[in-house]
């Protein structure tokens, strides 16, 4: 799928059908010609597919929004998660190098163990608790070692009005059940996929203006402003939904806060997922809105 904008950047986007990729297809098209690929056209487990696509498009910039994101499932298929999130990224980076492209890539708060009390900065030592977190960290390392201009955008708790995410799951369950137990001892910032995609386009534009300066290469934290728990996120979403005209007469589940220890999952999550985003503000003059502001916008758009 190609979106043309004459005279601009030639961009190859992966993960077109994901939460972030879908939004990026729109925001990046303002910068130039975007070739937006899904798994069918560019499978990150296929070195041939990656090489062929990169040499056909010859992008100046690759934005990699494709990833293995099934955090719990990854515990039982670590090789597959690693194949996509680490080896796939290494192959993509080496293909980028062969055509002189820069790369923007996403990573996650799950590279940290959450034991820090305050928000994580980019120089904090990663220590993933899960297979998914480890595979994403290995992907970061592969990209950083490739010898190309790159930006790694670490984000957290991505949601939106479409796709598979916590918000849509909670809203559905809240209609089906009388009571919902939600974890309240993991703290982070729910980040709207659209905010992330708009910010990525702005970052890409500024970086292109700087001729993809390698001085800017590195890891950046990017998440909504503010913080909450999964419980706080669910509570605010249901409060907004109950107050909306669309929900008149509907009954919603009572929310009960619980500790993570009462909700065991195959993958362990960090207790503290807060990301300090000051570096991004400093280097790219970019920051995301408060999580509650964006959640209200998403909720207004939901039918």
Ligand X SMILES: NC(=O)c1ccc[n+]([C@@H]2O[C@H](COP(=O)([O-])OP(=O)(O)OC[C@H]3O[C@@H](n4cnc5c(N)ncnc54)[C@H](OP(=O)(O)O)[C@@H]3O)[C@@H](O)[C@H]2O)c1
The catalytic residues are 132
67: tokens are: 């990833």
Determine, following the binding rule CB under 6 A, whether residue 45 of this chain makes contact with ligand X: yes
Number of residues that bind ligand X (CB under 6 A): 26
Q: Which of 11, 18, 227, 255 binds ligand X (CB under 6 A)?
A: 18
Q: Are strands 228-229 and 187-188 parallel, antiparallel or unpaired?
A: antiparallel
CA 250 to the chain's CA centroid: 32
Q: Which of 20, 103, 148, 201 binds ligand X (CB under 6 A)?
A: 20
Q: Is 124 exposed, middle or buried (0-12, 13-18, 19+ CB in 10 A)?
A: middle
Kindly write out the interface string for residues 149-168 of this chain, putting x where it contacts ligand X by CB under 6 A and - elsewhere: ------xxxx----x-----
**Least separation, in Å, of the C-beta of 196 and ligand X?**
8
Residue list 110-149, contact with ligand X (CB under 6 A): 136
**Least separation, in Å, of the C-beta of 155 and ligand X?**
5
Q: Provide the residue count of the chain.
A: 303
Query: In 3-state terms, what secondary structure has residue 182?
Result: strand
Determine, following the binding rule CB under 6 A, whether residue 84 of this chain makes contact with ligand X: yes
Piece of the chain touching ligand X by CB under 6 A; list 66-74, 94-102, 178-186, 213-221: 66-74
Closer by beta carbon to ligand X, 19 or else 29:
19
Determine, following the binding rule CB under 6 A, whether residue 220 of this chain makes contact with ligand X: no
CA 60 to the chain's CA centroid: 22
- Crossing angle for the helix pair 88-99 and 47-57, to the nearest 10 degrees: 30
Closer by beta carbon to ligand X, 65 or else 295:
65
Q: Which of 27, 108, 228, 272 binds ligand X (CB under 6 A)?
A: 108
**Least separation, in Å, of the C-beta of 46 and ligand X?**
8
Instruction: Name the helix (H) or strand (E) containing 218.
Output: strand 218-221
Piece of the chain touching ligand X by CB under 6 A; list 64-72, 118-126, 204-212, 242-250: 64-72
Determine, following the binding rule CB under 6 A, whether residue 230 of this chain makes contact with ligand X: no
Sign of CA dihedral 93, 8, 151, 191: negative
Strands (E), 239-295: 254-258
Picking from 273, 269, 223, the residue whose alpha carbon sits closest to that of residue 106 is: 223
Closer by beta carbon to ligand X, 41 or else 210:
41
CB 24 within 8 Å of CB 197: yes
Closer by beta carbon to ligand X, 193 or else 252:
193
80: tokens are: 């597959």
Q: Which of 68, 150, 252, 284 binds ligand X (CB under 6 A)?
A: 68
For the chain, count helices (H), then strands (E): 10, 13
Residues binding ligand X (CB under 6 A): 14-15, 17-21, 39, 42-45, 65-69, 84, 106, 108, 136, 155-158, 163
């Amino acid at each position: 799928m190609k979106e043309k904008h004459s005279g601009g950047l030639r961009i190859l986007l992966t993960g077109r059908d994901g939460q972030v990729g879908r939004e990026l297809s729109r925001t990046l098209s303002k910068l130039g010609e975007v070739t937006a690929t899904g798994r069918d056209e560019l499978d990150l487990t296929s070195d041939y597919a990656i090489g062929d696509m990169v040499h056909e498009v010859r992008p100046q910039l690759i934005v990699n929004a494709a990833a293995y994101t099934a955090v719990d499932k990854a515990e039982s298929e670590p090789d597959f998660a690693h194949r996509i999130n680490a080896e796939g990224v290494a192959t993509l980076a080496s293909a980028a190098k062969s055509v002189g492209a820069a790369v923007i890539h996403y990573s996650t708060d799950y590279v940290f163990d959450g034991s820090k009390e305050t928000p994580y900065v980019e120089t904090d030592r990663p220590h993933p608790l899960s297979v998914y977190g480890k595979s994403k960290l290995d992907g970061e390392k592969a990209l950083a070692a490739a010898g190309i201009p790159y930006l790694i955008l670490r984000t957290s708790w991505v949601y939106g009005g479409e796709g598979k995410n916590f918000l849509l799951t909670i809203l559905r369950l809240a209609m089906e059940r009388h009571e919902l137990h939600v974890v309240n001892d993991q703290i982070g910032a729910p980040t709207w996929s659209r905010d992330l995609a708009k910010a990525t386009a702005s970052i890409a534009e500024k970086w292109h203006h700087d001729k993809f300066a390698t001085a800017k290469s590195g890891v950046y934290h990017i998440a909504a402003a503010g913080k909450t728990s999964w419980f706080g996120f669910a509570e605010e979403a249901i409060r907004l939904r109950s107050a909306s005209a669309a929900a008149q007469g509907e009954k919603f589940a009572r929310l009960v806060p619980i500790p993570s220890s009462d909700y065991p999952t195959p993958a362990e999550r960090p207790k503290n997922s807060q990301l300090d985003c000051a570096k991004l503000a400093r280097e790219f003059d970019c920051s995301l809105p408060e999580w509650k502001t964006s959640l209200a916008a998403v909720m207004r758009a939901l039918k």
